[in-house]
Structure 1
Amino acid sequence: MMKTLHLAALAAGAASAPAFATQYLTLEQAQRLVFPEASAFREQNLALSAAQMRDIEKLCALPARSVNWRVFGAYKADAAIGYLILDDVVGKFELISYAVGVNLDASVRQVEILTYRESHGGEIRNPAWRRQFVGKSAPAGLAIGDGVANISGATLSASHVTDGVRRIAAIAQVMLKK
């Protein structure tokens, strides 16, 4: 009987544990924020070949991780002006959803955090930290300690988002550069 009460109390406590997910931006909001001059966005998802995945891995020194990538082309009238690529990385325990805007030359235009699910480390949403990525291309300057400063208290989130942005910059270099 005592064991049953103890297990019920544990289950009730687990069910009422606080959730820390915060959605900061929707896809549409991120598109407008990153490409305010765009008149249209067109979904142009990528499917990488094995050779392209190897090229990306060489360029960013990280696993390409996925064959399929969700990409939106940004257009002003009928002219492409850039791409918004969506990704998720694990922070410490939970997923961080983010979007990376890339210019036609494959340089990073902007990084936006869409959803942050960790209880700590939300400082990666700080505009000054995210501005460190702007103008950079794979692989130069896109690593913690090499162009990107870490954030005390958000070490894993900062490191994993930085790796993700470096991977996306490599994808842009291999697949999207005009």
Structure 2
Amino acid sequence: MIQKLLITIFLMFPLMGMIGNSDGLGKRIDREIRDEFHVSSFEHQGVEIPDNLRQKLPSRISKENFFKLKSDGNLIGYAYLDKAPSKTAEFDYLVIFNKDLVIARTKVLVYREEYGGEIGSKRWLRQFDGKSKSSEIHDIAAISGATISVRSMKSAVKDLLVSVEILKENKVL
């Protein structure tokens, strides 16, 4: 129960910049969003997912980790924050979508393993840019020495895209 609460707090507040954390995660997330959309400021709003629909989604999506992003009152995109398993730990990642729900940027925020950190490279992560359907994930290249993390990130993004497709079909997005 405590772990679930801490994960919820972790997922909710970095984007809001309300918790001063030692690793500056909230600031990094905000910077990624500002850089992607070329805005100096933005607001975010958690996307409300009906309970019956949330249970059908392959990704853990809730208003605590999936956000509409607005600047000057206009929708500019969406952001999704979650964790994925690596060999012995988990890594935190961010997926930024444009307003048409096409992946604009992915970012590994915190990687906690000794090996496999190459999945955090901009060059590798750029392969996800422009993807909007789960069927487009099959062509993501492998990385020697990061097999588990690569599979985990590919699976997480594929599940997220399936979830987004379901949310679009059900007119939540």
Shorter chain as normaliser: what TM range? 0.7 to 0.9
Q: Alignment partner for residue 60 of structure 2, among 59, 66, 75?
A: 66
> 5+ unaligned residues in a row in structure 2: which ranges?
1-22
**SS at structure 2 position matched to 1:150:** coil
What is the rounded CA distance, in whole Å, between the counterparts of 2:121 and 2:61 in structure 1? 30
Matched-pair identity in %: 27
Which protein is bigger by CA-based radius of gyration? 1
1:32 Cα deviation (Å)? 2.3
1:46 Cα deviation (Å)? 4.0
Q: Contact between 1:43 and 1:72, CA under 8 Å: does it hold in 2?
A: yes
Give the structure with the higher percent helix: 2
Deviations for 1:9-45, whole angstroms, at most 9, x for unmatched residues?
xxxxxxxxxxxxxx68533233223333363121314
Structure 2 length-normalised TM: 0.72
Residues 167, 93 of structure 1: CA spacing in aligned structure 2 closer, same or farther, 3 A cutoff? same
What is the rounded CA distance, in whole Å, between the counterparts of 1:153 and 1:164 in structure 2? 19
Structure 1 length-normalised TM: 0.70
Aligned residues: 145
1:169 Cα deviation (Å)? 1.9
What is the aligned partner in structure 1 of residue 6 from structure 2?
Answer: none
What is the aligned partner in structure 2 of residue 9 from structure 1?
Answer: none
What is the rounded CA distance, in whole Å, between the counterparts of 1:136 and 1:150 in structure 2? 17
**SS at structure 1 position matched to 2:159:** helix
Q: Alignment partner for residue 33 of structure 1, among 24, 32, 35?
A: 35
| Matches for 1:69-80 after TM superposition, within 5 Å | 70-80=65-75
What is the rounded CA distance, in whole Å, between the counterparts of 2:81 and 2:48 in structure 1? 11
Residues 104, 170 of structure 1: CA spacing in aligned structure 2 closer, same or farther, 3 A cutoff? farther
**SS at structure 2 position matched to 1:141:** helix
Q: Contact between 2:34 and 2:40, CA under 8 Å: does it hold in 1?
A: yes
